[in-house]
Structures are given as C-alpha cells and as structure tokens.
Structure 1
Amino acid sequence: MTSPGSPSEARSLIIERLVGDSGEAAQVIGTGRGMAERAAPLLQKSLTSELGVPVTVDLRAVEISRVAEARSHAGDTFAMTIIASATSSDAMTVVIDAPAIAITVCTLFGGDPEMPASPIERDLSQIEVDVSTMVIQQVAQALNGSGRRSLDLRLPVPRAMSGTEAKRHVLRDGAAVRIVFGISTPADSGTVTVTMPQRIVLASRDSAASVSQDDHSASWRARFSEEVMRSTVALEATMPLARLTLGDLADFEIGQVIEFEETAQSQARLSARGKTLFVCEFGKLGQNYTVRIRHPYDAGQDFIDGLMPAAAGRA
C-alpha cells in the first residue's frame, strides 16, 4: 500500500479512516460527470482503433457509491483491476462485465458485430483476461487526463483479476463516485464500471482550479461539519510484546514476568476507533511516558512484515 507523501495527504487519509472522506454530493457527481463526458469520446475512438470495428461508448450513470461496492453490479463473471496513482494505491477500480468482455473478444478476433456474441458463463480464459486488461488500459488512459486535470495514474495498468481472486480481493472501503460506461455493438451491450474514491475526484477538481492552501482548508470545513471537526477521539498507544507459542501461553502463571522484544519500543502503534494511524516510538519525558510519531501506518507493509517471521521459521 502506498504511504502518503506529505502531511496534508496523511491528514486526508487519517480523516477518511475515521469519518469517511466525502464531499457534497452534487459537487462530487458534477466533477465525476465532467471527467466521464470528456473521456467517453476518447474511449470510443481508442477502442474502435484497437478492435478494428466501430463500437459505441456511452455514459450511462454517474452516482455516489462506496469503493467496496465496485463489483456489486458485475454478476458472477467479470474482470477487475485496481489502478494506483502517485498518491494512492487504489485511485481507480475498474470492473468489466461478461457481456462487455464477450463483445471485445468477439470483435477483436474477427466476429461479426452485427451478430450477438456468445455469452460467457464460466471462468475467463487467459486470452479473455488479456483482452479485458487491454480494455481497462484504454479506460484508464481516457480518464487519466493531462496537465492540471491529470489523475497521475500509474500506467500501464496491472493485469486484470478474475474468478475467485477478483471476488475475494479486499477493497479498502470509503466514499466513492461510480461511473458506468456502456460498450455496445448493433447486437450486444455490456458495461465497464469505474469506481474512484471521492478524495481522488475532489483532489483532481482542486488541482484543476489551482486552489490556494486557504481555499483547500475552506473546502475541508465545507466537507466536514464543525460538529465533526470538534468531536473528540480517544487515542490508544500499544506496543508489541512477544511472539509465543500457544503452549508457552498455556504455561503462564500469576506473577510471571514477560520480556518485551528488542524492537518493541520503536514499534508502538497509535490508534483511534480501532484504526491504526501511526507507528510510534515509546519513550519518557520527565515523569511522563510518551510516544513519538515515526511515520504513518502502512497496512500493506505491515502485512508483508508479518509474513517474514513465518517465512523465516519455515526456512
């Protein structure tokens, strides 16, 4: 998972984890619709060029949603890719449904666009996943934009997921905008759904408008009511103790002393409402115990670090 690159980005991610980063609905939908309307003709042109036959791309919906609902309308068979940007590991989640996959595969390999494509009611083949990735790449390029409006997506996109992998992949939840494009031939129609966190959409809008820091602060006040910003949050600092077997734990006795690991002091975690926010260093200032913030918590790196002791044990 990508760590925030600046204090303001870290603040944005922390507030999103605690209360859900969202903007005023009309503003978010308006910004998302503007992006989608600019992208639709570019996407139609690029897909027609890649497939070799005319296809129609139309904008079907722009609505408020949640990132966790990105694949909820795709049915049992679909392909999905999560695209990172310079500031976010999940700036865009793109899902292409089975009818759209069937259309693109059929037309790419010489099928008659005037005839219905055979429906896909099974796990996708490797070729179908590759074609889905190609379509998602075209969608990302069309939406990415350039200049001040650019989303700064990391392209080319990762290879699409499908089947059990796509269905079980954990999506970091948050307020989002959902954009649905239709891909059609005279005989068939499918959809490509793009889900973007609202913080990404709003950041793009703010960048295009070249807002000052004062304007940025004002937008935060408009986004979150004064009541929310004044609410108190209980902080909890915890330190890792030790890694023990269940047998060791079962042998514990009253009065037994347990040693901290050597690195425990530098691995304290600062949390609020069950969400870990920072990795800290435990210390003491005068008569008071303290924690000093080292860096924002990175869940992806923490997961990888948790695997390392297990891997070492197996070796």
Structure 2
Amino acid sequence: MTSPGSPAQARSLIIERLVGDSGEADQVIDAGRAMAERAVPLLQKGLSGELGVPVIVDLRAVEVSRVPEARSHAGDTFAMTVVGSPASSDAMTLVIDAAAIAIMVSTLFGGDPDMPTSPIERDLSPIETDVSTMVFQEVAQALNGSGRRSLDLRLPVPRAISGVEARHHVLRDGAAICIVLGISTPVDSGSITVTMPQRVVLAGRDGTASASEDDHSTSWRARFSEEVMRSTVALEATMPLARLTLGDLANLEVGQVIDFEETAQSRARLSARGQTLFVCEFGKLGQNYTVRIRHPFDAGQDFIDGLMPAGAGRA
C-alpha cells in the first residue's frame, strides 16, 4: 500500500485498520448492485468478443463481506488477482473458480459450448492462468466505469496467481462488498467473485464526494456511531533491536547485552490491537520517555525495506 497523502486519508486508514471502514449495509449493497448491473452487459459483450461465441453472464449475488473472504466461494482450485487504484492498493480482488476457468479455456480453444467440460482438479497450467488473467481484465474494465463514477483502477490487471501462491496470498482485512458473477453455457456454470473495500465502492457514488478534510470528517461521523468513536484502545510503542542469525539467537545467554542498531531510535513503531499505525522517533522529555510521530506506517514499503539487507547479503 502507499502512504496516505493527507491527514484525512491517514485517519481513514487508521480507523479502517482498527474497526473496519464500513457503511450502512443497504447503502453499500445498493451501490454494489447498481455497479454490477451496469457492468454485466459490458462484460458479456467483452467476453463474447474475446471468445468468438456467446457466453452467459449473470449477477448472482451482492452482499456485505470482509476482504479476506474473497476466496471463500472458489473451492480448492481457483485463480485470483488484486487490482490497485489511487484510493487503495487492493481496490478490487478478483477470483475465478475452476468451473468458470474450464468454460473459458474450452470455449476459447474451439470446444463445443453444448458439451460439458472436464472439471479442473489440479494446479492450473500457464495457459489456464493466462486465460484467467484475460477474464479478469474484462471484468475490471466493465466494473471500472468512467467519468466521476470511475474507480480509476490501475489497468491492465496484474497476471493471475493460482495454487499455493493464491491460497496463501495475504489479503488486508476490512469491510467489503462481494459481487458474485455467473459464467455459464447451456451445460456448464462457474463463477467470478469480485471483492472491494466498502470505502472504495462508496467513494463518489452519490456524486458529491469531496477531498476536503471537513467532508472526510463529516463522512466519518455519519459512518461510525459515537460509541465506537469514544471507545479506547491501548497504544504500544516498540523499537527494533537487532538482526541476528538463528545461530546467534540460539547462543544467547542470561545477562548478555545486545546493542541497539544505530537507526533503531528513529524506527519505533506505534501500534494498537496488533495493527501498526505510525513510525515514530524514540526520545525523552524530562523524566519521561516519549515517541514522536514521524509518518504513517506503510506496510508495503516496510516489506520492501525488510528484503534489502538480505538481498545485499546475497550480492
């Protein structure tokens, strides 16, 4: 994810990490259903153009959900991708199940749409993964929209992943909306699940969205009850100590002194409920120890930074 560009966006991300950014269920479902109903004809036209034969696309369900549940409808064999936007690095998570993949591959390579396809009960081949990526591209384009209603998705979509990589891919938790699309022929049926954070779906849906901090504050007051906003959370500040090999760690003894890294003081972490919120600088004011907030925590950048020392060591 990228660092938020304003204090209002930072507050939004922090609250979402702690309690989940959610709107009224009826409002979220109505917005998602309207988006999906506009996209279905476009998607059916796009897929039929790619395949050369018509396939049936229908809207099966629109429901409130959580982002990590994006794979819950897909079974053991599926492909997925995560599409970002300026508003969120995970603006849209797309999952296609094995039945839909089999339909698309068979139809694309000249299979008879009136004959049932063989179920896929193994890891996907590169060709099946490429076909899944093509389908995801069509779905994302259809749902993206245009003008002020556009989701501004970063297209083309990333290449689909499958197998162990897809099953273990970490999805950031948060309130979401789940749109289930059906892909079918006269004899077979599969599904594509589209999962989006609720804040992405609701942003600009009424055409009155504003980037000002006052509007963001008003939106939060309307979205969260006073009881939630008054609830307290325990803050924890931690400092990175040192990088040790497993051998060094195994040889530690009682009473041994470990030095802090030179930059440890400027890399303290402020967390609440297990979620890291800010990177801080450790210090002291009078007799009291303090932390001064430097910038919001960027999980993506932190992951990259964590790889650098290891990469340098291999070089």
Q: Which band: TM-score by shorter chain?
A: over 0.9
- Equivalent position of 1:14 in the other structure: 14
Matching residue's letter, 1:180: V
Structure 1 residue ranges without an equivalent (≥5): none
CA contact (8 A) 1:2 1:87 kept: no
- Equivalent position of 1:209 in the other structure: 208
| 2:280 is the alignment partner of 1:259 | no
Number of residue pairs matched by the alignment: 313
CA contact (8 A) 2:8 2:217 kept: no
Matching residue's letter, 2:148: R
CA distance in 1, matches of 2:69, 2:146: 28
- Following TM superposition, by how much is the alpha carbon of 1:268 offset from its aligned partner in structure 2, in angstroms? 1.1
| 2:128 is the alignment partner of 1:128 | yes
CA distance in 1, matches of 2:311, 2:236: 30
CA contact (8 A) 1:70 1:193 kept: yes
Trace 1:175-254 onto structure 2 (pairs within 5 A).
Answer: 175-205=175-205, 208-211=207-210, 214-245=214-245, 250-254=251-255
- Per-residue CA deviations over 1:207-244 (Å, capped at 9, x if unaligned) read x3335754543331222110111112222222212223
The 10-residue stretch of structure 1 (30-39 or 107-116) with the greater mean CA deviation from structure 2: 107-116
- Following TM superposition, by how much is the alpha carbon of 1:106 offset from its aligned partner in structure 2, in angstroms? 1.3
- Following TM superposition, by how much is the alpha carbon of 1:31 offset from its aligned partner in structure 2, in angstroms? 0.8
CA distance in 2, matches of 1:232, 1:118: 55
Matching residue's letter, 1:151: L
CA contact (8 A) 1:40 1:57 kept: yes
CA distance in 2, matches of 1:308, 1:95: 31
The 10-residue stretch of structure 1 (78-87 or 229-238) with the greater mean CA deviation from structure 2: 229-238
- Following TM superposition, by how much is the alpha carbon of 1:174 offset from its aligned partner in structure 2, in angstroms? 1.3
CA contact (8 A) 1:81 1:95 kept: yes
Paired-residue identity, %: 82
CA distance in 2, matches of 1:280, 1:247: 30
Matching residue's letter, 2:209: S
- Following TM superposition, by how much is the alpha carbon of 1:246 offset from its aligned partner in structure 2, in angstroms? 5.5
- Per-residue CA deviations over 1:19-73 (Å, capped at 9, x if unaligned) read 1111111111111111111111111111111111111111110001111111111
CA contact (8 A) 2:79 2:97 kept: yes
Matching residue's letter, 1:48: S
CA distance in 1, matches of 2:55, 2:28: 29
- Per-residue CA deviations over 1:134-170 (Å, capped at 9, x if unaligned) read 0000000011111111111100001001111111111
Q: TM-score, normalised by structure 2?
A: 0.93
Instruction: Give 3-state SS (helix, strand or coil) of 2:205's partner.
Output: helix
- Following TM superposition, by how much is the alpha carbon of 1:111 offset from its aligned partner in structure 2, in angstroms? 1.6
- Equivalent position of 2:170 in the other structure: 170
- Equivalent position of 1:41 in the other structure: 41
- Equivalent position of 2:114 in the other structure: 114
Matching residue's letter, 1:91: A
- Equivalent position of 2:61 in the other structure: 61
Distance 1:175-1:251 versus aligned 2 partners, 3 A rule:
closer
Instruction: Give 3-state SS (helix, strand or coil) of 1:2's partner.
Output: coil
CA distance in 1, matches of 2:297, 2:176: 22
| 2:138 is the alignment partner of 1:138 | yes
Matching residue's letter, 1:79: A
CA contact (8 A) 1:5 1:87 kept: no
Distance 1:253-1:55 versus aligned 2 partners, 3 A rule:
closer
- Equivalent position of 2:70 in the other structure: 70
- Per-residue CA deviations over 1:160-219 (Å, capped at 9, x if unaligned) read 01111111111111111000111122222111110111121122425x333575454333
CA distance in 2, matches of 1:31, 1:116: 35
- Equivalent position of 2:311 in the other structure: 311
CA contact (8 A) 1:4 1:88 kept: no
Instruction: Give 3-state SS (helix, strand or coil) of 1:119's partner.
Output: coil
Matching residue's letter, 1:186: P
CA distance in 1, matches of 2:183, 2:48: 11
- Following TM superposition, by how much is the alpha carbon of 1:11 offset from its aligned partner in structure 2, in angstroms? 1.1
- Following TM superposition, by how much is the alpha carbon of 1:298 offset from its aligned partner in structure 2, in angstroms? 1.5
Structure 2 residue ranges without an equivalent (≥5): none
CA distance in 1, matches of 2:297, 2:213: 25
- Equivalent position of 2:300 in the other structure: 300
Matching residue's letter, 1:36: A
- Per-residue CA deviations over 1:239-275 (Å, capped at 9, x if unaligned) read 2122235665544454x65432111111111111221
- Following TM superposition, by how much is the alpha carbon of 1:3 offset from its aligned partner in structure 2, in angstroms? 2.4
- Equivalent position of 1:270 in the other structure: 270
Matching residue's letter, 2:264: A
CA distance in 2, matches of 1:246, 1:45: 56
CA distance in 1, matches of 2:171, 2:104: 26
CA distance in 2, matches of 1:302, 1:165: 21
CA distance in 1, matches of 2:51, 2:244: 58
